Each structure stands twice: as structure tokens, then as C-alpha cells.
Amino acid sequence: MARFAPFLAAAAVLLTGAQPRTDTAVLAGGCFWGMEAVFEHVKGVQNVVSGYAGGAAGDARYEKVSSERTGHAEAIRITFDPRQVSYAQLLRIYFSVAHDPTQVNRQGPDVGPSYRSAIFPQNEEQRRLADSFIKQLRAAKKPIATRIESGPFYPAEASHQDFVRRNPLHPYVVVNDRPKLAKLKRAYPQYWKA
């Protein structure tokens, strides 16, 4: 029966006119390897792409972004099903697991504006929610460095996609990214997917 699932889903769309609903989030918070790995393990997330946001298309290449003069941040684009995980739930994971929102232009060993904490809302509702989260955290006397920014997203080179999955024993991954995955599983077991 499972092999017929795609055909049944397509037939349901034709019969009801209902389209599968997905939404997109763009978040920056340090090296995109770990950010991508965290959100790939969240139920309801369908796809995560590492890339660059905040700068120009011509500068959206790793060697240029690494110069720290392009305006880009290493970022991820998350495609998710809001019926399974909301944008607010993604922000909760972003602020508490995926990175440290109190660090200015750095995350762990990575230093520079390309490693900044930034949210790139894709619509006004996302902007409102992101602003609300930041205000709540600041009201709790937390020194939040996260900024709300705008600009298109550009996918990174193929060598950066699925880096943690392809290189689970890479020293950077072992020290910086695997602890984030363990924290996600421990702090949000209801969202964890293997």
C-alpha cells in the first residue's frame, strides 16, 4: 500500500483541489552546518538548505562571504509543514538549541559578521512573531543580539549541504554540532525525528 501513497496523495489533490501546504523560514546563527543539522531533525521540517542571506547575489560564495565584507550571514532556509510544526516552535528551537542568541558576530569558535544571529522573515506574520520573541527575551533581561533583517537567500555550494550527516566524525562537528543535536533530543523530544 505504501508504494501507492504518492498516487493517492496526487489523486486527493485533484479531487479536492487542496494543495499540500508548506512554509519557509530563513534563519542565521553561526556556521550553517550545525543549524542545518538541528532543523533536519525537527518533525514537520521537510527540507533544510545551507546558504547565505543579507548580501548581494554576486557575493554569495563561501570564499567571498568568509572575507567578512559581503554583508552576508551564513543562514539556512527551512521548508516546513505548519500543520506539524509552527514558525513559533521553530523560533523556540532556534533561540534555545540551534545557536547562542547572546553572542554578537560570533558563535563558538567562529568570529565575524557572517556568523551573526539574524532572522530573515518571509512575511509580515513571521516578522511580528520574531519581533515578539526578541522583545520577550530582552524583557527577561537576556542580552539578545539577534537582529531582524531582510534580503534574499542564496543556496551555498554543494560541499556545504548535509555536511553534518555526511561528516559525523569531523572534529568541528563532534565538538560544536553533535552537542546541539543531543540538546534538541533532550529538550524537545516531542519535535525530535531521527
Q: Does residue 190 lie within any of the structural domains?
A: no
Which contiguous run of DSSP H or E holds residue 24? strand 23-29
- For the stretch 47-60, pLDDT in tens is 999 999 999 999 99
In a domain, 2, yes or no: no
In a domain, 94, yes or no: yes
Task: Establish if 121 belongs to a structural domain.
Answer: yes
Residue among 117, 114, 190 nearest 149 (CA): 117
State the CATH number of the domain containing residue 154.
3.30.1060.10
Residue 9, in any domain of the structure: no
Residue-number span of the structural domain to which 70 is assigned: 20-177
d(CA 5, CA 125): 33
Q: How confident is the model at residue 7, as a pLDDT?
A: 47
- The answer to whether position 40 is within a domain reads yes
Number of structural domains in the chain: 1
With 0-12 CB in 10 A as exposed, 13-18 as middle and 19+ as buried, what is 27? buried
Is pLDDT of 15 > 60? Answer: no
Residue 10 lies in a domain: no
Residue at 183 is within a domain? no
Annotated catalytic residue, options 26, 27, 28, 31: 31
Residues 139-172: tens digit of each pLDDT:
998 899 999 999 999 999 999 999 999 999 999 9
129 classed as catalytic: no
Averaged pLDDT, 70-84: 97
